[in-house]
Chains A and B, each alone.
Chain A
Amino acid sequence: MSETRHIQPAAAQHSWRRFKSGAMAGLLFVCALLVMAPLFLVLYFLIREGASALDWNFFTQLPKPTGEAGGGMANAIVGTLVMLAMAAVIGVPLGVMGGIYLAEYGSDRANDWIRFTADVLNGIPSIVWGMVVYVLLVVPFKTFSAYAGGVALGLMMVPLVMRTTEEVLILVPQGYREAGLALGIARWKIITVIVVKTALKGIVTGVLVAMARVAGETAPLLFTALGNNFWSHRLSEPISALPLQIFTYAISPYDDWHRQAWAGALVLMAVILILNVSVRILSRGRKFK
């Protein structure tokens, strides 16, 4: 006892250390607030500026030429949905199958490489995707198109879906695979019917998060979908998308268009937040024993 007392620091120094610790704690707290602040600032202005410009016409009408008030982004909303659907058609099978390979097959070393490439791929700037798909689909067919936009978004989804699929498949206990094998069931049926089904919620979650992510992408659409102020009648025509329209309007000099841009941003943000929140609720029940 007496020995410990000897090495107690002097009281003054001790309280200075305590004070410093408390001050740093406060500072860290302030930093955490600062990190969160932009979300609230953005949401606040989206609602303040966007809500007033939002009406029924916004969802049902085409953009009006400059100078005319009103109009909407109906074509952009539909365009976004169309291209998201096409993106899912490309991104989900490739991503899920790749995730299955990483989780169920392959040697640790080879899979480490594949994971590595997926992560690197995920870091490629989205504008680059636009350029590549431009060369692959716009130049040969001599037209900007919904196809090109969908492909660009779909390719961006592949690494996202692949990694989340792998992560949830790994959580499925080995016992289920063994039980299936011991019943003499073929491996691919075990994977598709038992393992994937068990992890289905998690996979769907991953897909929805990936879709929410690409739904807000603008850069890959600039030279693929291009944008369109009217309805697109074919998928081989240029098509509008919500983020594209927001961009065009935001950098325009017209007040009417600025208000439309805010309204569009509010809608886009709401869709993305709803997707993200519902995914969180969905995945809350995800537990394997």
Chain B
Amino acid sequence: MADPIQANPISTRSPVTAPAVAPQAPAAPGVAPLEVAFAIKGFSLWYGANQALYNVAIDIPARSVTAIIGPSGCGKSTFLRALNRMHELTPGTRIAGDLRLFGEDLYAPGIDPTVVRRRVGMVFQKSNPFPTMSIAENVLVGLRLNGVNDRVFLRERLEQALRMAALWDEVKDHLSRPGISLSGGQQQRLCIARALAVQPEVLLMDEPCSSLDPLATAKIEELINDLRSSYTVIIVTHNMQQAARCSNRTAFFYLGKLVEYDQTRTIFMNPSNPQTEAYVSGRFG
């Protein structure tokens, strides 16, 4: 593949096109169900003197959807943000433990958090398209600001990302309109497209539907379902139906601790921990 872009670190990994190019063919494409994306052991996190996470140990499989649930303040968002080191924006945070993505320690001394975030993308609670940019510019900003200039390539990536975010058909005729001219649900899908355009290995979603109406929510959930085959998706949600509908595995956090982690079906039908049961049956939280 004589792609000039190949030299760029961002485009070397491409989970979407990977099956076609298949550079890692020997590793049983797509069928190995338990390839681990995040391997986390003894992970704790403090905000100043307050401990927000206690000794979390969890293995999150690749190419599947993992939901993180729990009452508000349980540390689920903190945990999510620790996965791409976004929590470091809050001054005075400190971590302990071991957090590896495909075997690599994301907190090793030489690791640049910017590079970590390129590998682990994120979609936020409130949709936040950049107000000064058009739809197309929003999608491509991650690539452009990381030095990708090839027009043909950008154009391809634009369409690909918007298609994956199920937005292409709605916006393809007015790509130069401002991103904030879209409706709330569309804006959130635009943000997903923006995150997908840099082709991260993992996509984190922090309550992506909490400010959307049911129809827009359904679209996003559908989209999550489509991403499952090629992406590792981790979604924080306070909506248990949503967790049940769209995740393969579910982790239940309570008071900064990982209480239970299992197949989603098991968590909701037959949890082993009484706290989990109380929460999923709606008795608290």
Contacts and interface: CB of A to CB of B under 8 A. Distances in A.
Q: Do chains A and B touch in the complex (CB under 8 A)?
A: yes
Interface of A: 107, 173, 175-187, 189-190, 193-194, 197-198, 200, 288-289
Contact of B117 (A176, A184, A198): A184
Contact of B128 (A173, A184, A189, A193): A173
Interface string B223-263: 00000000000000000000000000000000000000000
B214 interface: no
Given A176-B130, A193-B145, A184 B191 contact: no
B141 interface: yes
B145 A181 contact: no
Interface string B85-124: 0100101000000000000000000000011111101111
Contacts, number: 80
10 contacts: A175-B124, A178-B128, A179-B128, A180-B141, A183-B118, A183-B141, A183-B145, A183-B195, A186-B145, A200-B132
Interface of B: 10, 84, 86, 89, 91, 114-119, 121-124, 126, 128, 130-132, 141-142, 145-146, 180, 191, 194-195, 198, 200, 204
Given A173-B128, A198-B132, A182 B117 contact: yes
A183 B180 contact: no
Given A184-B115, A193-B141, A194-B130, 12 more contacts: A175-B126, A176-B131, A179-B122, A179-B124, A179-B191, A180-B141, A180-B145, A183-B142, A184-B117, A185-B114, A194-B132, A198-B131
A182 B119 contact: no
Contacts of B191: 179
Contact of A189 (B116, B118, B145): B145
Contacts of A181: 86, 89, 114, 117
A187 B115 CA distance: 12
